[in-house]
Amino acid sequence: MQLVLEKRAERSNTIALVSPLIAIGLTIVTMTILFLILGKNPLLALHAYFIAPLTDSYSLQEIAVKATPLVMIAIGLSLCYLANAWNIGAEGQFLIGAVAGSWIAVKTQGTDAGAWVLPAMLVLAAAAGALYALIPAICKVKFGASEILTSLMLVYVADLFLDYLVRGPWRDPNGFNFPTTAEFDPVATVPLLIEGGRLHLGSIIALLVVAAAAILLGRTIKGFEIRVVGAAPRAARFGGFNANQLIILTFAVSGALAGLAGIIEVAGPVGHLQPGISPGYGFTAIIVAFLGRLNPIGILIAGLFLALTFIGGEQAQIAMKIPLDVTKVFQGILLFYVLACDSLILYRFKLVFPNRQVARGAG
Amino acid sequence: MELVEAIILSVLAASTPLLIAATGELVTERSGVLNLGVEGMMIVGAACGFGGAWLTGSIFIGALLGMVAGTLMSLIFALMALGLAVNQVATGLALTILGVGLSGLIGAGFVGERITPAMHLYIPGLTDIPLIGRVLFGEDAFVYFSLALIIGVWWFLYRTRAGLILRACGDNHVSAHALGYPVLRIRTLAVMFGGACAGLAGAYLPLAYTPFFIPGMTAGRGWIALALVVFASWRPGRLVLGAYLFGAVTILQLHAQGWGVGIPSQFMSALPYLATVIVLVLLSRARTGGSTAPAALGTVFVPDR
């Protein structure tokens, strides 16, 4: 007996729509088994992961706060992936954006600088993220160096650079030797949407980014070019579309969005620059992009769903002592199932039984 | 002299995991499969390797368990990328994300524990020779194994019929299939070999390099191993050279701190990653025109019947 793939005559659109749901279902089944192995009650654990965070307003706000960077980064990554450019260094672009924006906050600390501070921080962070993403893009276009490896190497470099700054020149002298900058001034902080809550302006910015991406991909020539270059490179060449230019463009946009997400995270929920500002947002965003089928609205939903798993993971840790790494395992398994289910869109699975005569002959 | 000897010894130790992981990936890529999950397989190998050694007290069982773990991880990749024809880049990333989580989960109970690291060889007389004695005859078994491994792979790829068939699958899977070779089966075996090597390379870290396990201890070595394969232009000989070069850069960074060079440690730590980027650019630039990569690398193959 053998599993064989058979190419479908045309894409199955029904499966394209339900495949993320099948993937989530399969992931939950797998997680149930994992919880049993860990000796935890799977029903309680699943409740802690997926239901409990939805039942109080604090957790709901927290989900939106966590989804904000995920959605912003994933929108940028989806543009790259649609154009067949493999930016997997969003984590580094996120960190560099956070560093660049923080520079203004640190320099204007306690100087009674005006309301220009936060906008300047956002712009500088986006520019820095874009420039950082352009390094692998240019290395790819000019020299043919694998953008996968170079963008990833730059994550480690960005991480070390941030570490150097907060342990060295930017360290808060009143910070009891902790590697952190001082708390940002109010003018350098992303304003809250609800007084006393956690929801901040960044979530609105993320929604605007989703809308902009939907318009770009659905309504403009550039969006059409991106999709054609990714889906049919040969056709794109005949159409006169410049694939290299699109690599540069999509990398720059995704770097800018990751950088923006970085400064919003630091100037918003975190409030100061320190190591460990990202629990792997740049990598989780890859899952968000695929789970959302590289579609802006899909990414918004996928971002909220993965944010739910982060919050649920924290609650499960507190309530049931389930290790936090289970969340990462969950995310990895989810990505596998999403990709496997995508295979169903293009192929039909068939079980083939070996020819009986051959079987008899062999026996 | 003792300093030189110490540096050479530590370079060899730092290079060995890179060499083992990269050797596995070289074979995988030569069969036409791009497995970006090396880091994930390595990090699971590190956790399982340490766990095995800590529970049994045997470095050998630890190493074996690391290999088994890496192979199992690679089978997930093979099922996805070969069985279901899923995009190899995305599958490899998924493998790394899963591996980081699994490694944390498996290793959680071992954090803070210590083991006796792998013994270094000692041959009376030979190992006592000044300077070269320790370097040539006083390494841990992994170092010798890694060299035997790469020589074996070279011999297999260029001197055996099976190696020729494997390379044919990597260069033109359609022709190999037409000639009647089971492309997917050959690729699955190559992926499993790569997984076993990555698992072993990961296990080397807590079994011989440091005597303890910390989460995330591979620190991007799996990715550097991937870059090394490109650096080596998919040739075993250059792979040895590349691995030792990178080991040297890593050690240079450690010693520069000891020598009191006035550069912040983070900048020195960034050196291996920056070196990887620079090397990739220089090599890709030198190669433009005729690429030496296996022609079918990373492409999906679904045999039609």
pLDDT at residue A294 greater than cutoff 60: yes
Contact state of A332 with B267 under an 8 Å Cβ cutoff: no
pLDDT at residue A223 greater than cutoff 80: yes
pLDDT at position A227 is 86
For chain B, give the mean pLDDT. Answer: 88
User: Is the pLDDT higher at B262 or at B15?
Assistant: B15
Q: How many CB atoms lie within 10 A of CB A36?
A: 12
**Alpha carbon distance B243, B12 (integer Å):** 9
Contact state of B94 with A335 under an 8 Å Cβ cutoff: yes
Does an H or E element contain A214, and which? helix A201-219
Region of poorest pLDDT, from A61-65, B56-60, B198-202, B268-272: B268-272
Interacting residues of B48 by C-beta distance below 8 A, sequence separation 6+ = B65, B66, B68, B69, B106, B199, B203
pLDDT at position A342 is 82
pLDDT at position A177 is 82
Structure tokens at A49: 């992961």
In which band, very low, low, confident or very high, does the pLDDT at B289 lie, cut at 50, 70 and 90?
very low
Put simply, whether B93 touches A (Cβ < 8 Å) is yes
Contact state of A329 with B226 under an 8 Å Cβ cutoff: no
φ, ψ for residue B240, nearest 5 deg = -60, -50
pLDDT at position A359 is 42
What is the CA A295 to chain-centroid distance, rounded? 13
Prediction ipTM score: 0.88
Among A3, A154, A328, beta carbon nearest to B277: A154
Contact state of B95 with A332 under an 8 Å Cβ cutoff: yes
CA A165 to chain B, closest CA, distance in angstroms equals: 10
Interface test with B, best of A26, A329, A348, A355 (most B CBs within 10 A): A329
Average pLDDT over residues A19-36: 92
pLDDT at residue B288 greater than cutoff 70: no
Contact state of B284 with A146 under an 8 Å Cβ cutoff: yes
The dihedral over CA atoms of A303, A307, A308, A314, expressed in degrees to the nearest 10, equals 170
Among A175, A248, A286, A219, smallest CA distance to B92 is for A286
The answer to whether A203 and A68 have CB atoms below 8 angstroms apart is yes
pLDDT at position A361 is 39
pLDDT digits over B24-35, tens only? 999 999 999 999
Count of pairs with CB atoms under 8 A, one residue in A, one in B: 149
For chain A, give the mean pLDDT. Answer: 89
Among B109, B106, B113, B115, smallest CA distance to B46 is for B106
